[in-house]
Structure 1
Amino acid sequence: MTANSTTAAPPAGTGAPDRRLRGSLGVAGIVFIVVAAASPLGVIGGPVPLGIAFGNGAGFPFAFVIATAVLLLFSVGFTTMTRFVPTAGAFYSYVDKGLGRSAGLGAAFVALLAYLALEAGVFGLFGPALSSLVESYGGPALPWWVWAAAGFAVVVLFGYRNIELSGKLLAVLLLAEVAIVLALDAAVVFSGGGPEGFSTGIVSPSDILSGAPGFGILFAILSFIGFEATAVFRDEARDPDRTVPKATYISLLAIGGFYTLSSWLLISGVGQSGVVAEATENPGTILQTTTETYLGAVGGHIIALLFVTSLFACILSFHNISSRYLFQLGARDVFARRLSVPHERHGSPAFASLAAAGVVGVLVTAAVLLGLDPIVQFYTWLGGISSVGIVLLLVLTSVAVLAFFTRQERGGSRWRRRTAPALGLAGLLLFLAIILQNLPTLVGEPEYGPFSFGVLALLVLAFAAGPLVARRKRTVVLH
């Protein structure tokens, strides 16, 4: 049974610590944090070339249209339910409200596993990228983990401070990376669409259905991870019942529109007939070489620098998200209460941030000691955990929304309470099936093997821990 009480700030004069975070984030602040987590420049330079090469070629940009549409349908029910879930906690608070405490705790553990795994995994991209950048300018050739450790220290510092400091830094980095890609987009447009004119693949059914469109959708889905975290910052938002829904829709539309436009113009800039071959042979450099073609050597240097800062922004965003999951679970007595005590001066989840950093530090250290390749093994394996975990959470949240509004007839039109969430759930189940089908490729296996099954086992164990903890701690309240 779902409990009805809420965890609130203690009354004045009781001497009990205030277990709520402080902040005054507006719509723009939350959008910057969430969109930075999606790493727009990293997506255009990473998943987009892979989607073109191994997905459906010139038809790949349409995969972003599909993903955006499904996630918007999901968001209709998600945001409609927001005012009935008055505490921060994102997915697990919604799942608890709709499906009960056991499922809510299971969702919390899956979310925590997914976000911590992705934060740690992106260090496997950040370290080598920064190392390569420094060496290209004549700097010392140091192991990737040295640069990862430097980035880790900066993340810990910002995570310890007030969220508004992180928000300001992320805003600057995000604006810079979006600006350079939009500059490339504009250059392609003013050149008449590249060597062959504007690509028609985005509107051509034969191109959209060519190759492996399911694999294309897979890369499109992965590019949106992080958008759903708007509700995590509820306690630090101004007027959260209005701010969170607005930030969710704006983030989705901004991310989806940017990815669709920029991937289409990247294909146009290279040339539709040769883009698959170019993306297959040079997936890691196609963005930089195309930028150099249209914006000169200076543009190429800017892209190389901002790619590194984009990865850092992604790490910092996911660190902020995972810290707040730990904080909220501490506030609900699932984890140590110490995690839920905000910093006296910054009002930040300082202790939860340090705990999240500790877990990530252990994972990165283990990768170094085991001699794992930072990209092919470390990032890929942890990225597989995160990919399956986040889509699974979206599915659970959709089911929770439908279950909640089956009992609760108030709150909006039938479209908002039932129709849109049901359509979103159907799309998300298809996405989950596509990810599971392609999971071996995602983690670098030719077919289902130890790593693929290991990813699924970890997620199953994380979710199964929910009912066990719920039985042992019957007073836990998640919403």
Structure 2
Amino acid sequence: MSQDNGTPRRLQKGVLSVPNGIALAAAAMAPVLAVVLNAPAAAPVAGSAIPLSFLIAFIACAFVGNTVVQFARRLPSAGSFYTFNSRGLGPAAGFFTGWLFWIGYAVLAPGLFTAFGAFVHDYVAGTFNTDVPWWIFSLMGMVLVFGLSARSIKASVRVDLLLLGIEVVIFLVLGLVAIAKAGPGNSAVFFSPSSSPTGVSGVGLGVVFGILSFIGFDAAATLGEETRDPRRNVPRAVMGALGAVGVFYVFEMYALAAGYGLNSPSKLAAFLQDPNPFVTLSDRVTPWLSQPVQLAAIAGLFSCFLAIVNTTVRVMFSMGRDQVLPRSLGSVHPTWHSPLTAIVVQTVFTVVIGLGVGAWLGPGPTGAYGFTGAIGTVAIVVVYLASNIALIRYFWKDAERSVLKHVVLPALGVVALAYPLYAVAQPGQSYPYNLVLPIVIIWVVLGLALFLRYRAVSPDKIAALGSFLAEDDVPLDEQPEALLGARASSLQEPTVDELDRVHPHDDSGRA
């Protein structure tokens, strides 16, 4: 582990496995939470074609998944897209990727903070007839998230895996029973564009909510420095999580459509007025699961909250280590091997913004959660789009370039994400969503000012962006020229810090 004045600058190597990575990525997607919240949101535009919309979203996100896999095999790092785009498009793109990726994930946490408190409040009020303020439950959840994140990434992903297993099993049972009892409700028409009130365009708008449900699938890529054999296992974790959750989404959407009877106009009309159709479905077909379904939603919120915090702090850690953010954020606790300073900063940010936005817009799904989620989605989808372009450029002159994997699939990923980005960020949104695009633009402008300052006074920081990889042992012919020159002049072995900074950028953006 490299040292800087006695402070570790690397995360603990080799402590995580493929299931650990899948757990983090799947928890970040929050599969149960996504179907509970996004099915009602997609219903007015997609109608009974919701399963088709989610299937198309699954395919679209698979294109981005290919990009993450191809990069992770070459560039395993806690920086994820920050490292990928630095190496594929150059330092400037890498800086703005990190800038957007950081706020994209960081701002999701306050929404989850408020939603967790709101869900627990509603459950306690309905079950025990006790009215406890939502923010008390939010703070309790934050304490647990902080403790797990600070103490051990391994403990965090184990909790994620446990909660995921419980909640997914509950919803799978609900889905199976709903399909079995659906009778004439079972139909292939749910995968036809004609089932949408406006045909193809309605299905397309439904895809937007499907893609929002996949945000977070890339979280496993931030574990590149802590995963055993990262070049092999990180791609497995990313695609494992994406595949498993994608199948879960399509299955649950079909079970909802069939169980609710959405091929019946009258039942579809009732569905469109139902604020929580999965709870209604459970009351109808599995009343004995009604309580577990509500608890599964709470568990899904907590596991997502924990996963998002762990993902965010690793991006902050990478940027702090590169000194783009304050250097202290790039430090690691000597005993716990966690980016503790980054965790503290993210915790303060989450509580302050969460309490403020929760008091302003309300803590529920249509309040702070929806608003902060929209901001995060715009920022993250921009990063996804840039990464697809970066992959094409990175491998353009590479001897191992595959036309399918390194050109066609990322190009399709750009096309697939363009419309959802427009749908979320387009002008004319209702309040407060009309503030989403201006907020993202203001953030980009602030980043531009910081980038220009760094380029003027500290160009070495920009040149070194995304240089930390998971491996300590770097082949001699891939070491920086400056490092080789220093070795030749001093006849000394390079330090670990020197070996950390590898693969400088050339004019083409390739290592």
Q: Give yes or no for TM over 0.5.
A: yes
1:139 Cα shift?
Answer: 5.1
The alignment-based identity, stated in percent, is 27
Structure 2 CA distance for aligned equivalents of residues 466 and 244 of structure 1: 32
The root-mean-square deviation of aligned C-alpha atoms, in Å, is 2.1
Structure 1 CA distance for aligned equivalents of residues 38 and 361 of structure 2: 22
1:58 Cα shift?
Answer: 1.1
Structure 1 CA distance for aligned equivalents of residues 424 and 354 of structure 2: 25
Residue in structure 1 matched with residue 56 of structure 2 by the alignment: 66
Letter in 2 for 1:90: S
1:467 to 428, 451, 460: 451
1:277 to 247, 254, 269: 269
**Contact 1:326 1:339 survives alignment (8 Å):** yes
Structure 1 CA distance for aligned equivalents of residues 280 and 459 of structure 2: 58
**Contact 2:7 2:334 survives alignment (8 Å):** no
Q: Which runs of 5+ in 2 are unaligned?
A: 468-511
- Number of residue pairs aligned between Structure 1 and Structure 2: 457
Q: What TM-score results when the alignment is normalised by the length of structure 1? A: 0.90
**Pair 1:24 & 2:12 matched:** no
Structure 2 CA distance for aligned equivalents of residues 158 and 49 of structure 1: 32
**Contact 1:199 1:267 survives alignment (8 Å):** no
2:216 to 212, 226, 248: 226
**Pair 1:457 & 2:457 matched:** no
Q: Deviations over 1:439-477 (max 9, x none)?
A: 825x655xxx4x144334234335535632541432222
**Contact 2:111 2:368 survives alignment (8 Å):** yes
Structure 2 CA distance for aligned equivalents of residues 439 and 84 of structure 1: 42
Distance 1:365 1:346, change over 3 A: same
**Contact 1:77 1:418 survives alignment (8 Å):** no
Q: Deviations over 1:191-214 (max 9, x none)?
A: 2xx153313333323115267223
SS of residue in 1 equivalent to 2:361: coil
Q: Which runs of 5+ in 1 are unaligned?
A: 1-8
Distance 1:465 1:48, change over 3 A: farther
Residue in structure 1 matched with residue 419 of structure 2 by the alignment: 430
1:150 Cα shift?
Answer: 1.1
1:415 to 404, 410, 430: 404
**Contact 2:72 2:231 survives alignment (8 Å):** yes
**Contact 1:28 1:247 survives alignment (8 Å):** yes
**Pair 1:293 & 2:281 matched:** no
Q: Deviations over 1:273-298 (max 9, x none)?
A: 245323321222x11121122222x3
Distance 1:463 1:58, change over 3 A: farther
Structure 1 CA distance for aligned equivalents of residues 272 and 446 of structure 2: 36
Structure 1 CA distance for aligned equivalents of residues 221 and 168 of structure 2: 24
Residue in structure 1 matched with residue 39 of structure 2 by the alignment: 48
Residue in structure 2 matched with residue 339 of structure 1 by the alignment: 329
SS of residue in 2 equivalent to 1:25: coil
Show the 5 A alignment for 1:122-201: 122-138=112-128, 140-191=130-181, 194=182, 196-201=184-189
Distance 1:461 1:288, change over 3 A: same
Distance 1:153 1:257, change over 3 A: same
Structure 2 CA distance for aligned equivalents of residues 324 and 341 of structure 1: 11
1:271 Cα shift?
Answer: 0.5
1:182 Cα shift?
Answer: 0.6
Letter in 2 for 1:321: T
Structure 1 CA distance for aligned equivalents of residues 340 and 272 of structure 2: 44
SS of residue in 2 equivalent to 1:81: helix
Q: What TM-score results when the alignment is normalised by the length of structure 2? A: 0.84
Letter in 2 for 1:212: G
